[in-house]
Amino acid sequence: ETGVTQSPTHLIKTRGQQVTLRCSSQSGHNTVSWYQQALGQGPQFIFQYYREEENGRGNFPPRFSGLQFPNYSSELNVNALELDDSALYLCASSFWAGEETQYFGPGTRLLVL
Amino acid sequence: GDSVTQMEGPVTLSEEAFLTINCTYTATGYPSLFWYVQYPGEGLQLLLKATKADDKGSNKGFEATYRKETTSFHLEKGSVQVSDSAVYFCALSDRDYKLSFGAGTTVTVRA
């Protein structure tokens, strides 16, 4: 069974640029959630995708957007990057949207200069 | 809204010592409770969970009991090892689509 994978592992961008992060869900899972983990803090929920539709969103501005594809992989897009967007971005998958247990990938560490 | 408060770290212990990390929560409903662990440079791994009051979650020698009367889910291990050095996160899911996490507790175990 393949776990959750994310790419890239590290990324450096400059303020104002746009970034796309990718996630492949665990085999058999159709739901993907994205979290932002700032240094020294707990993860904060960004949004969730279930069967290619957004299924809930946290307190993040619209410049954070996402997609889910028919194979249940997902992308997180962030436009107009700000310095405070520097963080570890975690993707988590679950068997379905009503399943509370989520399995996390290794994360993508984004640095905005 | 839902929130989790956990014991501030860092916590430094000697091998074979007893570990307790306190976690309390606030939720409007009847949440499921989780402990996740994050090893250096890695993502989060589910350590244990409990879905209703008085349930005890356990894994790898760690235990936590869901206490509704005190809204707590404290993590314990009777004899820690150097390999238990990590950041531990308490989290809840209140029957919706997201996990709400505490700020994390850094644990360092010295040989």
Q: In the prediction, which pLDDT does B19 show?
A: 97
Tens-digit pLDDT profile for residues B1-38: 889 999 888 999 999 999 999 999 999 888 999 999 99
State the average pLDDT over residues B44-66.
95
If pLDDT is split at 50, 70 and 90, which confidence band does B95 have?
low
Query: Could you write out the DSSP letters of every residue in A30-88?
Result: -EEEEEEE-TTS--EEEEEEETTEEEEE-S--TTEEEEE-TTS-EEEEE-S--GGG-EE
Contacts of B34 in chain A (CB under 8 A): 101
Q: Is the pLDDT of residue A19 over 70?
A: yes
To the nearest whole number, what is the mean pLDDT of chain B? 93
**Interface membership of B36 toward A (CB under 8 Å):** yes
pLDDT tens-digit readout, A34-57: 999 999 899 999 999 998 999 999
- Give the nearest chain B residue to A42 (CA atoms): B103
What pLDDT shows up at residue A28?
87
Using a CB–CB cut-off of 8 Å, the residues of A that contact B are: 4, 6, 33, 35, 40-45, 48, 50, 55-56, 58, 90, 92, 97, 100-107
